[in-house]
Amino acid sequence: MVSESCPKFSRANRLRLSSASSAIENPTKFLGDYNLQGLPLRRIEFLVHHFCSSMLLKTSIFNPVPTTTPPLRPPLFSSSPSRANLTENIAIEGRNLTFSITTRQGKIVPILRDCSLRIPSGQFWMLLGPNGCGKSTLLKVLAGLLNASTGAVYVKKPKCFVFQNPDYQVVMPTVEADVAFGLGKLNLTNEEVKSRVLEALSSVGMSSYLQRSVQTLSGGQKQRVAIAGALAEACKVLLLDELTTFLDEKDQMGVIKAVRSSLHNSEDVSALWVTHRLEELEYADGAIYMEDGKVIMHGDVESVQSFIKMKQSDYIKRIYYS
């Protein structure tokens, strides 16, 4: 987290970051080319990485070893010419996605196994499953932070990935500065920046915290600031990675309601929320259930909820009668 003593980025410096981030391969070389008011080396490197991540730029920072991936294809709905107009109604789609890692011993370990999913525009969906089933990996593939081994991805742009730990994403000294940080890449006037920041903070119920120090916020409030930053950039898709894991019950509800409010205020915004909490399903429009790297079920909340409860019941019976 940036301390209060760190100098605040001016608009000119945010524009410098923006203009350089698309071509950046070496943060150290970047420091030599741009004078950023003497900020510490580690802080600049962190902010550059954060900026590229929040913009979801596919640079060598995230993909040091290029891999071959299939070309992006339109959603499955558009396979029929007579239904091509339905393409606009799909926010997220993955088709037959796989992802594997190679160990030091050369063994290939599959993480995602033939995953397919489709999420309509303007809806709030949840991705559930036990720990280690591949939920966060799938989300990062959809965000472009990881390249799928095989398969194709379609996600509306602009999109934004919100991390599980808000300290990885909320980096500026004040709430206003942090929400405005990503707007440096856009050619906006100061009035336009202020308007977007206020509107985004209003959507997540944080408008009264405009000048508050980030260090004084709770974990849930930081998550809402991170979401506001994405909304300020007019993101069409929010990819949210287990935002309530480290939060108390009050903050959990605050973050979930902030996402619901954001979608309600803008019909163009869609969200995919990764969680392992079954009780959070009541806030969703649809759900996806994963196990062992596979999408097991995909559909309405009631069906997925019933399926999970049935599996839980079967598991308890096996333990009881074994």
pLDDT at position 265 is: 77
Please, what's the b/e burial string for 61-95 (b: 16 or more CB within 10 A of its CB; e: otherwise)? bbeeeeeeeeeeeebbbbeeeeeeeeeeebbbbbb
Region class of 18: left (phi > 0), else alpha (psi between -120 and 50), else beta = alpha
- Write the CA distances from 320 to 232, 316, 317, integer angstroms: 52, 6, 5
Contact 111, 132 (CB under 8 A): no
pLDDT at position 46 is: 53
Check whether the bond before 7 is cis (ω within 30° of 0).
no
pLDDT tens digit at each of 322 positions of the chain: 333 333 444 444 444 444 444 434 444 544 444 444 455 555 555 555 554 544 433 232 333 333 333 344 443 333 333 333 444 589 999 999 999 999 999 999 999 999 999 999 999 999 999 889 999 999 999 999 999 999 999 999 989 998 888 888 888 899 999 999 888 888 888 899 999 999 889 888 888 999 999 999 988 888 889 888 888 888 899 999 988 877 777 788 888 888 888 788 777 889 999 988 888 898 999 999 999 999 999 999 999 999 988 888 887 888 877 6
pLDDT at position 212 is: 93
pLDDT at position 176 is: 93
pLDDT at position 261 is: 81
Strand ranges for 165-249 from DSSP E: 237-241
Q: Which residues contact 137 (CB under 8 A, 6 or more apart)?
A: 99, 111, 112, 146
Identify the CATH homologous superfamily for domain 90-321: P-loop containing nucleotide triphosphate hydrolases (3.40.50.300)
Enumerate the domain spans of the chain.
Answer: 11-44, 90-321
In this structure, the number of other CB atoms found within 10 A of the CB of residue 211 comes to 9
Residue 153 phi/psi, 5° resolution? -125, 135
Contact 271, 240 (CB under 8 A): yes
Q: pTM of the entire structure?
A: 0.69
DSSP annotation of 25: S
- Write the CA distances from 135 to 19, 242, 278, 281, 295, integer angstroms: 33, 9, 14, 15, 9
pLDDT at position 188 is: 87
3-class DSSP state of 122: coil
3-class DSSP state of 230: helix
Residue 256 and residue 306: Cα distance in Å, rounded? 22
